[in-house]
Chains A and B, each alone.
Chain A
Amino acid sequence: MNPAIKNPLLFALVFSLIIMTGFLNSWNVALGILNMGLISAVMALGVNLQWGYAGLFNVGIMGFVALGGLGAILIGMPPVGEAWAAGGTRLLFSLAVAAGTIVGAVVLWGRMAAGRARTLSMLALLIGGFFVFRALFDPAVAAIEAVNPAGTGYLGGLGLPVLIGWPVGGLLAAGAAWIVGKTALGLRSDYLAIATLGIAEIIVAVLKNEDWLSRGVKNVVGVPRPVPYEIDLQNSASFVARMEGWGLNPVTASSVTVKLMYGLLFAAVLLLMIWLTQKALNSPWGRMMRAIRDNEVAAEAMGKDVTRRHLQIFILGSAVCGIAGAMMTTLDGQLTPGSYQPLRFTFLIWVMVIVGGSGNNWGSVLGGLLIWFLWVQVEPMGLWMMDLITSGMGDDSGLKKHLLESAAHMRLLTMGVILLLVLRFSPRGLIPER
């Protein structure tokens, strides 16, 4: 079929699926799916930058998303003055010591002549620096975490509007991507995959354990919103009057309105991202990237610095994932480091990109919306199917109980099957690259 007809049809299909959910379930559910779908689409765009444009295999998306969430917290939450007084400066100083040690070691490595003396002095500097850092860091952390541990126990953020946190989240992710890229790019493709897998686990471990930074598993809750609260809308006489004028229940209408406002914000970001990525794709820079992806040796012969371009696009793609992570934390209103699972935040995004069509931005957006819809809806569908299968069994049957309980795990299975089927029978995805 002509892509000019097929692609809008595919999008129409996804939106009609979501609208159908609105009619069959509720508009709250439908908008919830749409909002997360929009965020997933942004993540998929970021991964598509790395994989579709440059062929870089990043399996650490979870880490960059989590860092983006941290960005939203560090900007949006109010600062905890007492904690800053108790140990804020000391903590910053200890972090500066740690950074100084690492920079010192790198400089030392560059300056001294190769040999045993260099290795030994660098090791001595690193080990000594580590102990000095711990000696400064530990008491500062203890002091900060002792301040009202049940309520705060962390430094808090800057208390600025949370929307500023979105680009900041992107910057944090970009910084982490720079460190990973500097070490692992230029080595083999598998090594980048394993390095990103590792850094993602470490970022989440840091968020889980450094209570002074992110409250760890105690979670940061009540992140300020960029949109009004439902309760304020319900208390506003004009809102209630207007909704009742339209014949709507003000309570439902308020939550739908809030979700719609989030949806508009996310859609604005997504459209901006699509515009930027499309511009980039069709620029000389985008053509160069595809040339590098398709034949590194030839591109290098044409004088392109392949490693630098890879580093650049790796950082850009990770920053986009970071922005999406900040958006997600804003939508949830909380940062829950315990909930970051690689299957959900790394591999699911990969399914979105592959199914949508790697190398095509519209494909990634479609994949993001469609796969997110399936991810949410497969569970009730699985349950319904299990009900059907087990309807003939007796109510006391152990197998029936087990099957019904396990229906929740259907979604992993479904995602795997979808990924394999697409890779096998339509490896270019739903909307292939031109």
Chain B
Amino acid sequence: MDFLNAIVAFANFVLVPATSYGAQLALGALGVTLIYGILRFSNFAHGDTMAFGAMVTILVTWWFQSMGINFGVLPTALLALPFGIIATIGLLLFTDRVVYRFYRRQKAAPVIYVIVSLGVMFIMNGVVRFIIGPNDQKFADGVRFIISARDFKTMTGLSEGLAIKASTGITIVTAIIVVAALFWFLNRTRTGKSMRAFSDNEDLALLSGINPERVVMITWIIVAALTTIAGVLYGLDKSFKPFTYFQLLLPIFAAAIVGGLGNPLGAIAGGFVIAFSEVTVTYAFKKVLKYLLPENLEPTGLVQLLSTDYKFAVSFAILIIVLLFRPTGLFKGKTI
């Protein structure tokens, strides 16, 4: 019984939160890795693109809520999500048209793109704060829990509860659907194949008649969908605050690099590696160990490896370790 309690406590505080966080990071990292693979630069505006997509979705959600439209047990934000995606597609295509295309024609160095993306980041950050303000926004509605801790306790008779938030379930289901659709698109469709060809060898792809502008456009569209979905899921799970999205940049980059930049499968693996290590290292294991160890050995402290404020340090440490020992990432990514 104690053993079961320990497992449930571990699942409740580590496994479940890390899985949903990992899925959100994976979606973000997929966007970063796609841009890297096709446009060949690290997009520093990624976090703020997520914030923009989430913001539009929130505004539409509020509008729906004010009209009394809702999605039953599911959050209204899912209904508003397509509007957010469309707005973000518009924003990214517009940015590409007025900003990035000029440098693409010039064949500018990758680091110039990165600096340009800093400028785009400033503008998007300003736009988001301008429209919705810098504060926390809550927009989740519908059912809050799939299983609440109390129900779980009465169901199983254990003294530890396992709560699964509705947002966790939605995150995982959505992430699976999105990733499956993305891989089907990349591996099975003609456009997807042309994208992979372009990413592998630009010159060969151009020779075989692939239109680079079209590939770039499709990439931005996919990235817009991925970032908006990631942003909305993160916002549903935690809450929406523009600055948090900016800070997500580091774990997302870490996930993409750990998995191997330019490799979509790697981005997913990287997302979960980063999420699980962040949550495990910053979790206080006292509760779990209490069940596992005999009474006289019970820990007196929290048995927390690092305080929660150092979660950045965790993604950073993993990043450094991977860079030192396996510079192309866990799955083989690109090296320039």
Chain A interfacial positions (CB closer than 8 Å to B) = 55, 57, 59, 130, 138, 183-184, 187-191, 193-195, 197-199, 201-202, 205, 208-209, 342-343, 347, 350-351, 354, 405-406, 409-417, 419-420, 423-424, 427
Contacts and interface: CB of A to CB of B under 8 A. Distances in A.
8 contacts: A59-B44, A190-B41, A209-B307, A412-B126, A419-B115, A420-B99, A423-B119, A424-B102
Interface stretch (B174-182, B183-191, B311-319): B311-319
B297 interface: no
A378 to B, nearest CB: 11
Grouping DSSP codes into helix (H, G, I), strand (E, B) and loop, the A interface class, with mixed when no group exceeds half, is: helix
A419 B309 CA distance: 32
A184 B253 CA distance: 15
A198 B312 contact: yes
B90 interface: no
Interface of B: 41-42, 44, 99, 102, 110-112, 114-116, 118-127, 129-131, 133-134, 246-247, 249-250, 253-254, 257, 261, 301, 305, 307, 309-310, 312-313, 315-316, 319-320, 323-324, 327, 335-336
B301 A138 contact: yes
Given A190-B42, A413-B123, A420-B116, A195 B130 contact: no
B316 A201 contact: yes
B127 A413 contact: yes
Contact of A187 (B131, B316, B323): B323
B111 A57 contact: yes
B129 A412 contact: yes
Contacts of A414: 126
Contacts of B127: 413
A413 B118 CA distance: 12
B66 to A, nearest CB: 13
A193 B121 contact: no
B129 A406 contact: yes
Contacts of A59: 44, 118
Contact of A412 (B44, B112, B122, B250): B122
Contacts of B336: 188
A138 B307 CA distance: 12
A118 to B, nearest CB: 12
Nearest to B116: A423
A351 B126 CA distance: 15
Given A189-B110, A194-B42, A416 B126 contact: yes
A1 B124 CA distance: 35
Given A183-B324, A424-B102, A198 B126 contact: no
Given A202-B313, A412-B129, A423-B112, 7 more contacts: A189-B111, A193-B114, A194-B253, A406-B129, A413-B130, A416-B119, A416-B121
Nearest to B314: A202
A423 B109 CA distance: 13
B119 A406 contact: no
Contacts of A409: 126, 129-130, 134
